[in-house]
Amino acid sequence: MKKGSKISNAVIKRLPRYRRYLNELKRKGVDKISSRELSDLIGYTASQIRQDLNNFGGFGQQGYGYNVEALYNEISSILGLDKEYKMVIVGAGNLGQAIANHTSYYKAGFVVCSLFEVNPKLVGIKINDIDVRDCEELVPYIEDNSIDIGIICTTKDAAQEVADKMSFAGVKGIWNFAAVDLEVPETVAVENVHLSDGLHSLAYHINRNHYFE
Amino acid sequence: MKKGSKISNAVIKRLPRYRRYLNELKRKGVDKISSRELSDLIGYTASQIRQDLNNFGGFGQQGYGYNVEALYNEISSILGLDKEYKMVIVGAGNLGQAIANHTSYYKAGFVVCSLFEVNPKLVGIKINDIDVRDCEELVPYIEDNSIDIGIICTTKDAAQEVADKMSFAGVKGIWNFAAVDLEVPETVAVENVHLSDGLHSLAYHINRNHYFE
């Protein structure tokens, strides 16, 4: 990436998708790909792709296309996926457990260090070998273990209080599965998960009976 | 929407997001909004927003902006959210249970009719008052109950076989949580959930220490 250049949030949101498709191409042994071929694959227009990838410079060559591996590595590095992140999950219900069990995060450098729960029946158990602790211990645990990311899998009502504690204790980012907009300090990044968006897109395609990605 | 006009998949993917923000504005009693104000809120550029919403026509007026409620209703109708959808979940592990318990889908017209499982310990129990049936019963159940949407919450390895059965039995759409690309007939729409994308965007923002939505 060019030093000091600023990439828009919309582009950042598209990068993980580019990276997924590039990974797939790498696995298939593809060395280079044109913006038009990428367009067919990913579903963005070729001009959008060229514009997006121009942010990093130097990978597309007229008449040659993009070097798949170099572009994959560059995007991974821009996203910060060459580092390790320590995470905690608050809320050890079904969703929190599902995430704790999702071991592919670990391979990608996202390590769940502990879960936290208010329900005394769950405090003290282990999920995927990870301890479930009392929510009272959340702040000191984050401080003592330099946790980077807090994952909120609580109810809507509890989410803001949990976000306040996480922010106070010093997490750098919050991955929020509760359907509520959180207020956090400007130094804390928030990524909201809106599962229903996918279901709503699906409803459109069902009605139109189109095939799509 | 203009009769016969075709909206690109990229626009369709953005509509649920527009709808969420418009719903929030409605709740706050906002009647109209300019593309610039929408841009500040949603994070797309004003010109992108005008271009997207031009697909439906008639809602933006120079110097006035968009009528929030009319635009919300139009987008809901385009997405097909004025109808009811019958769904089944295959895989009654943590993730399947989390979705079955997520009652806000019901209010939005997405009704989970049954779960299906291969694990005999789970077959026969109820989750959120919904029966967990043996996977062997999947095809006749979908046929007999005119199920619209199949939700795949199985392992990667089982997902394609489940998708085959769902497609054979006549679902119109598949909401796929397994991290694998499915092959389905062109008449079946697929929406893949890539949870990690959000985590990867978060990693970027943590490293840049920027505030974002």
Closest CA to B147 of B117, B173, B121: B173
CB B138 within 8 A of CB B165: yes
Residue B107 above 80 pLDDT?
no
Looking at the complex, does the CB of residue A183 fall below 8 Å from at least one CB of chain B?
A: no
Residues 6+ apart with CB under 8 A from A76: A19, A82
Domain A9-78 sits in CATH 1.10.10.10: yes
Residue B200 above 50 pLDDT?
yes
Looking at the complex, does the CB of residue A170 fall below 8 Å from at least one CB of chain B?
A: no
Say whether B43 sits in a helix, a strand or coil.
coil
Place of tokens 């599962």: A195
Using pLDDT thresholds of 50, 70 and 90, give the confidence band for residue A4.
Answer: very low
Closest CA to A206 of B112, B190, B45: B190
Contacts of A17 in chain B (CB under 8 A): 194, 197
Residues 6+ apart with CB under 8 A from B75: B15, B18, B19, B22, B56
| pLDDT, tens digit, 9 for 90 and up, residues B146-188 | 999 999 999 989 999 999 999 999 999 999 999 888 999 999 9
R_g of chain B, CA atoms, integer Å: 20
Q: What is the mean pLDDT of residues A77-86?
A: 91
Indicate the domain borders of chain B.
Answer: 9-79, 85-196
Give the amino acid at B113: C
Q: What is the mean pLDDT of residues B106-130?
A: 93
Distance from CA of B158 to the nearest CA of A (A): 16
Give the amino acid at A166: M
Instruction: Check B203 against A83: CB less than 8 A apart.
Output: yes
Looking at the complex, does the CB of residue A211 fall below 8 Å from at least one CB of chain B?
A: yes
In this prediction, residue A93 carries a pLDDT of: 93
Residues 5-64 of A with CB under 8 A from B: 9-10, 12-13, 15-17, 19-20, 24, 43-45
Residue A88 above 70 pLDDT?
yes
How many angstroms separate the CA atoms of B72 and B78, rounded?
10
Q: Which residue of B has its CA nearest to A101?
A: B94
Q: How many residues does chain B have?
A: 213
Q: Could you say which DSSP state residue A136 is in?
A: G
Fold topology of B85-196: Rossmann fold (3.40.50)
Residues 6+ apart with CB under 8 A from B5: B55
Question: Best interface-test mutation with B: which of A199, A207, A211 has the largest number of B CBs within 10 A?
Answer: A199
Place of tokens 């696995």: A27
Residue B3 above 70 pLDDT?
no
Say whether B172 sits in a helix, a strand or coil.
coil
In this prediction, residue B85 carries a pLDDT of: 95
Using pLDDT thresholds of 50, 70 and 90, give the confidence band for residue B62.
Answer: low
Contacts of A155 in chain B (CB under 8 A): none
Q: What is the mean pLDDT of residues B121-138?
A: 96
Residue A209 above 70 pLDDT?
no
- Name the more confident of A71 and B108: A71
In this prediction, residue B60 carries a pLDDT of: 62
Residue A11 above 90 pLDDT?
no
> What is the share, in percent, of chain A residues with pLDDT greater than 90?
58
In this prediction, residue B213 carries a pLDDT of: 37
In this prediction, residue B163 carries a pLDDT of: 98
Distance from CA of B139 to the nearest CA of A (A): 19
Beta pairing class for B126-127 and A60-61: unpaired
Which of A44, A102, A207 shows the shortest C-beta gap to B80? A207
The number of C-beta contacts closer than 8 angstroms across A and B is 183
- ipTM reported for the complex, 2 dp: 0.84
In this prediction, residue A197 carries a pLDDT of: 86
How many angstroms from the chain centroid is the CA of residue B38?
A: 22
Question: For A99-211, where are the E strands, in sequence order?
Answer: 110-117, 126-127, 130-134, 149-152, 173-176, 189-192
How many angstroms separate the CA atoms of B35 and B24, rounded?
16
Which of A194, A202, A207 shows the shortest C-beta gap to B191? A202
Fold topology of B9-79: Arc Repressor Mutant, subunit A (1.10.10)
Residue A38 above 70 pLDDT?
yes
Range scoring the smallest mean pLDDT among A179-183, B4-8, B67-71:
B4-8
In this prediction, residue B1 carries a pLDDT of: 44
Instruction: Check A81 against B200: CB less than 8 A apart.
Output: yes
Q: DSSP per residue over A68-128, as a string?
A: HHHHHHHHHHHHTTTS-EEEEEE--SHHHHHHHH-THHHHTTEEEEEEEES-TTTTT-EET
Range scoring the smallest mean pLDDT among A85-99, A110-124, B41-55, B70-84:
B41-55
Contacts of B209 in chain A (CB under 8 A): 172, 187, 189
